[in-house]
Amino acid sequence: MATLIRRAKSKSARGLALSSSLKGREPEAVNIEALRGIISYLDYLYTEGEISDRAYKALVSQVLSTFVENSIQFKVERILDRFGKELEKAEEALLNDILM
């Protein structure tokens, strides 16, 4: 797991996940940046001895679960939006056929 985690060099890693530069970006990109920031901050807390090994593992597990849940939600929403648009087009075409 340590190979997947970049070491935080300072407390500035805390703000990365909530950075204002994330506003207005694609949800998937924000989700990835937030994951990186939170993992970096948890790594910082762990290396500084502020959280135990057990707490670190539990928190990382929760963060990864939330990341996966968000990723799936974004994909499902995108598919439903696309389906909704196609359904609207089909409804319009059907109404046009009926009215003509």
Statement: residue 91 has pLDDT above 70: yes
Distances (CA, A) of 26 to 20, 29, 33, 62: 14, 5, 11, 22
pLDDT tops 70 at residue 42 = yes
Distance, CA of 1 to chain centre: 19
Predicted local confidence at residue 20, as pLDDT: 53
Residue 89 makes CB contacts below 8 A (sequence gap 6+) with none
DSSP string of 9-43, one letter each residue? -SGGGGGGGG-GGGTTS-HHHHHHHHHHHHHHHHH
**pTM here?**
0.62
Domain assignments of the chain as residue spans, ordered by start: 2-99
Mean of pLDDT over the chain: 82
pLDDT tens column, 47-65: 999 999 999 999 999 999 9
Q: CA-CA distance, 64 to 70, in Å (whole number)?
A: 10
Return the pLDDT at 4: 38
